[in-house]
Amino acid sequence: MVLLQRPHILLLLIGTHQFLQCWIAFGSVNEEGQKQEEFSEELLLKPLPDHKLLAHFHFQSSGPPSTSNGCHHHLFPKAISQLVQKFRIKEMELSFTKGRWNYESWGGFDPLSSSNAKPPGVELWAVFDVPQHHIDASWKNLTHTLSGLFCASINFLESTATYSTPEWSFPPASGNVRYGTLPCEAVCTENLTPWLKLLPCRDKAGIALLLDRPSLYRGFYHSQQLHLTSTGSSSEGIDSGIILEQTLTVVLQPNSEMAIEVHASEKHIQPSWSLSSIFGKQVSGRCVLAKPSSVYLLLDRGLSAANGLTSENFWSNPSFELSANPDRIFLEESSSHSKSLSILYMFQVEKYCESEPFDIGLMWKVPVAWLCQQTPLHASRFLMGSGNERAAIAISLKSTQFTEGFMSANSKDGSCELRVDVFQVVPWYVKVYFHSLRVFVDQQPRAVSDIIEKIHVSPSKDKMSPGVMEVVLKLPCRVNTAALTIEFDKGFLRIDEYLPDANQGFDIPSAIISFPNFHASMVFLEDDSLNKSPLLSKFQEKCPVMSYTEVLLVPLTTPDFSMPYNVITITCTVFALYFGSLLNVLQRRVAEEERFLKAKAAKKTGRLPLLLSKLSAKLRGRRLEPLHSPPSSSSFINSKLVLKVILVAGLAVGWQYFFS
Amino acid sequence: MAETKEKSLSDEKPKPRVRPIVRLGIFLISHSFHFSVVCCTAGVLALFLLPVLAKNTYISENALMPGSASPMLSNQHVSDGNRLVKDLTNPNSKSSETGIESHKIIAQYMLDLGAEVSFHKFHPQMNQFHPLHFFSSPDSGKIQENYSCSSYGINTVGIIRAPHGDGKEAIVLVTPYNALKSGFGEALSLGIAYSVFSLLTQVTWLAKDIIWLVADSQYGEYAAVAAWLREYQTPKFSSLSTPNAEMCPDVNNLFELKGHSISGSKFSNSFRRAGTMASALVLKVRDQNEQFEDTISIYAEASNGQMPNLDLINVVNYLAVHRQGLRVNVEKLWSLLNSSWLKSLGEIFESLAKVAKSLYPKWKFGIPATEYVEGTATLASSLYYQALGVPTGPHGAFRDYQVDAITLEISPKFSLDKVWRNDILLRGGRLIEGVIRSVNNLLEKFHQSFFLYLLTSPSKFVSVGVYMIAFALLIAPLPMVAASLYVDANSSSNCSKGDSSTPSAITDTDEHSIAIRSWRWLNSAKLVFIVHLWGAIVSLLPYFISQIPDCSPTTSFMIWVLLSILSLLTLNSVLASPLACAKATQEKEWALVKSVTISSVFIGLGLMSVINFATAEIGALLMVPMCLLAQPLKLDVRAGTLRSFCRMICNLVLGHIAFPPAAFFLLKGMLDGFGNANVGDFWMWVESLWAWNSATYLFIGMVQLPCWVLCISILFHTC
């Protein structure tokens, strides 16, 4: 039928058009002899120990520095390039996260987790390439632009009380960094759609086709990131290359209906999954604009060790079965500190088409249990104390047994030290007393100067800027537990400074704990085709191990929010009373009153006083009071009037009672 | 000018006009007797009217939405819970003498659900008297020297992380469990909690983390929960050289078991936390029950009469009554239920309401007499437990950290068949699920509804605006009477002096004598101050007495009484015996003493009503009549009229009743019968008061006792 064929034709047209465009782009770029714009789409799947599956989408577009194109691009999103040019951004990262990264079971020592585990809510940092005094203005404009671009309230980061300037502890160490978080920002599809719009194929083709909203947001962790790096000569400004990395990390529970079944034997076996079962969709071919378009399956060190996989037998493994044959298998380059190696299975999406969609599945045959490699110290942060006045923030670090061997291997001589950087931003209404910083190592209180190598503190200014604390700790390698406590006062806010839902409490953003001695990197055995994959080359970069702590909720004293009304009424009453009595006092003249009384007594004696009093009354602008009003009249009224009223009321009551 | 002319004309003194407010004050002071009679009667009457004035509860916070979602707890979860109950009641699990086996079972069950599990070891902390720790926030606890491996408890804690939540808040579910001698009820409460827990690991709507605390109640339910909370809120990072629980072999054994667990990462022996606690539920199942219905009792009173937000009780009440068909109970004073005078009072109110309704159909304030009696019994117990200032359950520990918490005690009609057990598991579980779901819906913390209220039935309450009226009426006459006594004492001495001296002498001695007279109250103020100082000393004495080893309550009490009398005599002699010297200087001295006493009582009651309303109310009922009626017996004997005779009798009776120990024994006798009253009981009662940091103790020691002593001294004044 014609109707059925039409879409195919259309698609074909679009496809060819795009291809042509692409080809033209190639041609034009090649003529110039410059690097062309590139786009890559990759998906990494990784089974997690607690029966979950991590899916990491990685899209990278790069716009090369080109003067010839002017402000036109073939693949690269124009919005982003304009953003970079306008605000002279050197590097920027924006992340939207829902849920918490579980450092204990999902690991924290691989490049995947140390760069993709983010605090809940929105986190934004940017490095600018402008003079110092312009940075704040650029930041403000940037927040507003991003807020419009991603349908989020990033513009709240505009006020100086919400963002901070890390001096040296923040990884992209530079004076031009601005860092801000919004811990209570809700993340949903409205943030994802604009993010997808930056992709050349959106979610209509290629790997992005898998991004099925209901299954994504059903997950346990969802973090959507945008990382911008501008390369090349920065001082000239306009023609610098831009690399845009868009990543989406989700942790999903495959086969949730299987988990409900409580068979003791089946509980320990990992659930089997396939792309179509977790996302409800399949990949029907690549996005034609994407150069490498591949799907990876990563078995990390712990898992491959548990499976008994070694470099010899990883082709034929007994414990699980893949539904599709991998195109390549990469082995991690063996390193000194771990015997087992990660294994990476690569699938190329190009081979598949609409009639034969790509769907990879994994079937476990035997129960396996393993542990992910964790950060050297597990960090957790909590509030101490109770009441509305004072409290304390405690950051506790516990050594994870997993890395113990690693650390002892690292320590060649006896004096081995573990460096830990702590970066903590506290909002101004949490008034931190930095002198109350105390350090405990292995449950022994230690002098701050012994442990802290370097500290930078910028105290908060009320309603102006948050407090920032950057600490470098030098802990002995054999440390079991360490704790940092710092006390604070809970501030009082003006009624218009309370956020909506003030009774929920106020958030203290996550602290960043980083371990500069340790670098998470995954170097796979050298292969020339490997260089083409941006995801894998990103894995090879040495990034410091980092972890975020929990967001804290500080309950502050809240006023009764009907208070303005009460205050207005009370103030008005007080004013009325005050002015009333003041006027009364001002008007009253004691001498005059005495005279008045006497005149009353002597009113029959002469007409002169009467006249005078009339005159004075006229002068005062009042009506002449009848002189007859006797002071006893009030009591007279009291007794008789009350009697009458009671009598009438009694009659009425009796009447009513009698007739009903 | 005209004015000067006027002035020259006037030479007689005109009557100055007095401001209305001043006139009103003078009127009230001069009629203070009638005023105080009217106010006190009205105050007592208003107290008895409170059950009539009680309003129906309503859910104030819209976000709670109780019962709007259909319960998801299915028979699957109930059978899970049943499995746990069976395993726990299985005789094999009790083989170990420390009860560690059952903790292991519970932990294993939690682990199987995918929850994070940890054990919390604690040493039971003896309640001790810290004289300066009233009102202070709970601290991390004193370090005890004699820790031993034999005396520690183990709390098992399971935490479910909300899959989509940000982990800022948590809801706590507590089930006390004594592994050594657990009844079937405790196992059943664990079963209910487990079935809810197993449901909550699967649901997607969780926004707050769930903490399930199995509190080891072998050293008391409260101690276990308080120890866990202390560790949660104010942990100690530094441990001194005292032997730790880790060194005890049993505990290590406990952790070894978990080593081979398949999901080992979920278990840790370190203390685990979730975010800020939003609210807490303590669940208990009673073993024995005489009732024919499944009932659920709510206990809400925490230390110093603090109550959780009314919305929490409302949610439980609504879900229990309208969804699960359980009968909801709150504590009642059962002895009041059969009292005939209360019944007749209720009938009077009922008939009055009928009359009022016939007059005007919109006046509908009457309630049936039986309902009135029940309401009064509930109100009385609500007042009593609030006044006592001792928490009525483990939920009290949460209130110290500003967490709203209640204890739910399910008392099922007892039978042992399986159908019944499933039914109670299902209904109890669905109730807990509903409450947790409601609290989970809550974006803000509980703040909409009342914190200051008295319950007259599970669905009726009296708010602070209403019950304050009764108290205000009771104490309103105090300043009036004090002022009138002061004026009387001053003017009478003024008159006597004025009569004796010649009019010409007034002018020169006037200023001097007025100056002396107006400062004469300082003398009586000194006396009152000394007695209050003595009161403070008396309330500090138990701290030293409790240091004496091996002392029975009776002897402690005797020592206390002796020391108190001794200290009173010492103070009296050291500070120039103000009682004796007062008599010498002034015959109207007692009126001034009474005036100052009444003022101090007024201040004391006013302060106490802010701290703990119920204590102030009960104290006012005792002290206000005593203060107002106090008059030297000699004067009454001298007068010899019927009125003074009545007053004398009243004074004597009140003088006996208002003595704190006497009041205690009277109350105890009324509640439990006089048969087993023992002198040492009072000591034990006082001990419990200070152990719980109850402000009632301070009130008795520093307001009521001095007031009683002063009143007695007025009664026996030799004038």
Best residue in B77, B164, B449 for a mutation probing chain A (most A CBs within 10 Å)? B164
Tell me which chain A residue has its CA closest to the CA of residue B204.
A218
What part of A 12-71 touches B (C-beta under 8 Å)? Answer: 49-50
- Interval B334-360: pLDDT, tens: 888 888 888 899 899 888 888 888 777
What one-character DSSP code corresponds to residue A429?
T
Q: Does the distance separating the beta carbons of B235 and A504 come in below 8 Å?
A: no
Q: Does the distance separating the beta carbons of B161 and A100 come in below 8 Å?
A: yes
B65 assigned to some structural domain? no
Reference A546, options A523, A517, A522; nearest CA is: A517
A619 touching chain B per CB within 8 A: no
Asked whether the beta carbons of B383 and B617 are under 8 A apart, the reply is yes
For chain A, list the domains and their CATH numbers: 38-364 (no CATH), 377-402+415-510+549-554 (2.60.40.740)
SS3 B173: strand
CB pairs under 8 A between A and B: 140
Q: What is the distance between the alpha carbons of residues B590 and B717, in angstroms, rounded to a whole number?
A: 7
Quick one: average pLDDT of A390-416?
Answer: 69
Which of these ranges, A36-40, A210-214, A495-499, B241-245, has the smallest mean pLDDT?
A: B241-245
Q: How confident is the model at residue A478 (pLDDT cuts 50, 70, 90)?
A: confident
Q: What's the gap in Å between the CA of B233 and the closest CA on chain A?
A: 5
Verify that B424 and B314 share a domain, yes or no: yes
Verify that B483 and B344 share a domain, yes or no: no
Verify that B528 and B590 share a domain, yes or no: yes
- Interval B132-168: pLDDT, tens: 555 554 454 444 444 556 677 889 999 999 988 888 9
Locus of tokens 């499933």: B422
A443 touching chain B per CB within 8 A: yes
Whether residue B496 is predicted with pLDDT greater than 60 in this model: the reply is: no
Whether residue A281 is predicted with pLDDT greater than 80 in this model: the reply is: yes
Asked whether the beta carbons of B644 and B502 are under 8 A apart, the reply is no
Q: In this structure, what token pair is assigned to residue A394?
A: 């405690």
Quick one: average pLDDT of A104-122?
Answer: 88
Q: What is the distance between the alpha carbons of residues A208 and A323, in angstroms, rounded to a whole number?
A: 21
Reference A218, options A260, A252, A259, A184; nearest CA is: A252
Residue A508 pairs with which residues in a beta bridge?
A552
Verify that B191 and B280 share a domain, yes or no: yes
Q: Does the distance separating the beta carbons of B443 and A507 come in below 8 Å?
A: no
What one-character DSSP code corresponds to residue B680?
H
CB contacts of A257 in chain B (<8 Å) are none
The mean pLDDT value of chain B amounts to 81
B499 assigned to some structural domain? no
Q: Does the distance separating the beta carbons of A99 and B164 come in below 8 Å?
A: yes
Verify that B340 and B407 share a domain, yes or no: no
Q: What is the distance between the alpha carbons of residues B687 and A174, in angstroms, rounded to a whole number?
A: 63
Strand order in the sheet with A361-364: A273-274, A361-364, A320-322
Give the amino acid at A462. D
Tell me which chain A residue has its CA closest to the CA of residue B164.
A99
B304 assigned to some structural domain? yes
Quick one: average pLDDT of B3-19?
Answer: 50
Verify that B694 and B554 share a domain, yes or no: yes
Verify that B285 and B384 share a domain, yes or no: no
What part of A 481-510 touches B (C-beta under 8 Å)? Answer: 481, 483, 485, 501-505, 507
A598 touching chain B per CB within 8 A: yes
CB contacts of B452 in chain A (<8 Å) are none
Asked whether the beta carbons of B714 and B630 are under 8 A apart, the reply is yes
Q: What is the distance between the alpha carbons of residues A475 and A453, in angstroms, rounded to a whole number?
A: 10
Reference A274, options A316, A320, A222; nearest CA is: A320
Verify that B176 and B309 share a domain, yes or no: yes
CB nearest to B263's CB, from A369, A383, A394: A369
Asked whether the beta carbons of B137 and A387 are under 8 A apart, the reply is yes
Number of Cβ within 10 Å of residue A401's Cβ equals: 10
B515 versus B585: the higher-pLDDT residue is: B515
Quick one: average pLDDT of A195-208?
Answer: 89
Asked whether the beta carbons of B317 and B458 are under 8 A apart, the reply is yes
Length of chain B counted residue by residue:
719
Angle at B443 between CA A461 and CA B62, to 5 degrees: 130
Domain holding B551, by residue range, is 28-45+474-491+517-575+586-716
Whole-complex ipTM: 0.84
Cα dihedral: B347, B348, B352, B354 (round 10):
20
Which of these ranges, A378-382, A494-498, B506-510, has the smallest mean pLDDT?
A: B506-510
Q: What's the gap in Å between the CA of B196 and the closest CA on chain A?
A: 15
B415 assigned to some structural domain? yes
CB contacts of A563 in chain B (<8 Å) are none
Q: What's the gap in Å between the CA of B232 and the closest CA on chain A?
A: 8
The proportion of chain B whose per-residue pLDDT surpasses 90, expressed as a percent, equals: 29
B458 assigned to some structural domain? no
CB contacts of A601 in chain B (<8 Å) are 12, 14
Q: How confident is the model at residue A194 (pLDDT cuts 50, 70, 90)?
A: very high
Verify that B557 and B422 share a domain, yes or no: no
What one-character DSSP code corresponds to residue A283?
B
Q: How confident is the model at residue B178 (pLDDT cuts 50, 70, 90)?
A: confident
Number of Cβ within 10 Å of residue B579's Cβ equals: 16
Q: In this structure, what token pair is assigned to residue A498?
A: 């309370």
Q: What is the distance between the alpha carbons of residues A54 and B363, in angstroms, rounded to a whole number?
A: 67
B604 assigned to some structural domain? yes
Tell me which chain A residue has its CA closest to the CA of residue B360.
A656
Q: Report helix angle B75-89 to B184-200, nearest 10.
A: 140
How would you class B555 by CB atoms within 10 Å of its CB: exposed for 0-12, middle for 13-18, buried for 19 or more? Answer: middle
CB nearest to A383's CB, from B7, B137, B276: B276
What part of A 511-530 touches B (C-beta under 8 Å)? Answer: none
pLDDT value, residue B282: 95
Q: What's the gap in Å between the CA of A103 and the closest CA on chain B?
A: 10
What one-character DSSP code corresponds to residue A200?
T
B258 versus A179: the higher-pLDDT residue is: A179
Verify that B354 and B407 share a domain, yes or no: no
C-alpha A363: how far from chain center = 36
What part of A 282-321 touches B (C-beta under 8 Å)? Answer: none
Q: Report helix angle B75-89 to B100-112, nearest 10.
A: 160
A102 touching chain B per CB within 8 A: yes
pTM exceeding the 0.90 threshold for the entire prediction: no
Asked whether the beta carbons of B32 and B488 are under 8 A apart, the reply is no
Verify that B557 and B699 share a domain, yes or no: yes
CB contacts of A440 in chain B (<8 Å) are 237-238
Q: What's the gap in Å between the CA of B242 and the closest CA on chain A?
A: 12
- Interval B384-425: pLDDT, tens: 999 988 889 899 999 888 899 999 998 887 666 678 888 889
pLDDT value, residue A622: 52
Q: In this structure, what token pair is assigned to residue A158?
A: 């505009």
A555 touching chain B per CB within 8 A: yes
Tell me which chain B residue has its CA closest to the CA of residue A505.
B444
Here the CATH number for the domain that contains residue B280 is 3.40.630.10
Whether residue A224 is predicted with pLDDT greater than 60 in this model: the reply is: yes
Verify that B165 and B226 share a domain, yes or no: yes
pLDDT value, residue A265: 47
Q: Does the distance separating the beta carbons of A550 and B167 come in below 8 Å?
A: yes
Whether residue A651 is predicted with pLDDT greater than 60 in this model: the reply is: yes
pLDDT value, residue A244: 92
Tell me which chain B residue has its CA closest to the CA of residue A556.
B445
What one-character DSSP code corresponds to residue B143?
P
CB contacts of B276 in chain A (<8 Å) are 383, 505, 552-555
A384 touching chain B per CB within 8 A: yes
How many domains does chain B contain in total?
3
What one-character DSSP code corresponds to residue B321?
I
Q: Does the distance separating the beta carbons of B239 and A371 come in below 8 Å?
A: no
Asked whether the beta carbons of B214 and B118 are under 8 A apart, the reply is no
Residue A438 pairs with which residues in a beta bridge?
A485
CB nearest to B237's CB, from A371, A483, A597: A483
Q: What is the distance between the alpha carbons of residues B299 and A558, in angstroms, rounded to a whole number?
A: 27
B531 assigned to some structural domain? yes
Which of these ranges, A270-279, A303-312, A564-573, has the smallest mean pLDDT?
A: A303-312
Q: Does the distance separating the beta carbons of B444 and A504 come in below 8 Å?
A: yes
B9 versus A494: the higher-pLDDT residue is: A494
CB contacts of A300 in chain B (<8 Å) are none
Quick one: average pLDDT of A543-552?
Answer: 89
Q: Does the distance separating the beta carbons of B238 and A121 come in below 8 Å?
A: no
pLDDT value, residue A526: 62
Q: What is the distance between the alpha carbons of residues A242 and B1, in angstroms, rounded to a whole number?
A: 96
B485 assigned to some structural domain? yes
- Compute the half-sphere exposure of residue A380: CA atoms within 13 Å on the CB side of its CA: 20
- The full DSSP string for A209-276 is GG--HHHHHTSSEEEEEEEEEEES--TT-SS-EEEEEEEEEEEE-S-HHHHH---HHHHSSPPPEEHH
Q: What is the distance between the alpha carbons of residues A140 and B117, in angstroms, rounded to a whole number?
A: 45
Q: Does the distance separating the beta carbons of A260 and B275 come in below 8 Å?
A: no
End-to-end CA distance of chain B: 60
B71 versus A13: the higher-pLDDT residue is: B71
CB nearest to B238's CB, from A99, A444, A601: A444
Strand order in the sheet with B153-160: B116-122, B153-160, B209-216, B169-177, B276-285, B404-411, B295-299, B327-330
Q: What's the gap in Å between the CA of A214 and the closest CA on chain B?
A: 13
What one-character DSSP code corresponds to residue A530?
G
Best residue in A400, A598, A635 for a mutation probing chain B (most B CBs within 10 Å)? A598
